[in-house]
Amino acid sequence: QVRLVESGGGSVQAGGSLKLSCAISPNRASLFTMGWFRQAPGKEREGVATLTSGGYTAYAEFVQGRFTIVRDDPANILYLQMNSLKPEDTAIYYCAATSRPVIRRQLRSGEIDYWGQGTQVTVSS
């Protein structure tokens, strides 16, 4: 059973940066595709960024150029570097993974096998 644990959320002013981490245990050997989702109050959960086992990345249009998804394989950690944060980025951010390959597109929430517990990101104006 895979376990995902996020950390790194917090409060920041608009224009600031945060780096989210997702610790993967026992390891990501069975995971083809990983990503980050977010859910703001009163809104549906939406995909933010995707990283395939082959290193392909995909981003939602609203974070393109501001967020970067990377993976540290030896440490079994997935990161989301978030720069130029905006108040509308305020949400709970979830790490997610699937054992299925996803070809050159964003992960969809219905495809997820494993979810983290989420970490709160709050951006003030």
From first to last of its 125 residues, the chain has per-residue pLDDT tens of: 899 999 999 999 999 999 999 999 987 777 889 999 999 999 999 999 999 988 999 999 999 999 999 999 899 999 999 999 999 999 999 999 999 888 888 999 999 999 999 999 999 99
Q: What's the rounded Cα separation, in Å, for the pair 119 and 37?
A: 11
| pLDDT score at 10 | 98
| pLDDT score at 67 | 98
What burial letters (b/e) apply to 73-102, b meaning 16+ CB within 10 Å?
Answer: eeebbbbbebeebeeebbbbbbbbbbeeeb
Q: What's the rounded Cα separation, in Å, for the pair 106 and 94?
A: 15
**1's tokens:** 């059973």
| pLDDT score at 6 | 97
Q: What's the rounded Cα separation, in Å, for the pair 97 and 110?
A: 11
Closest by Cα among 85, 81, 54 to 70: 81
Closest by Cα among 31, 24, 29 to 4: 24
Secondary structure of residue 96 in the 3-state scheme = strand
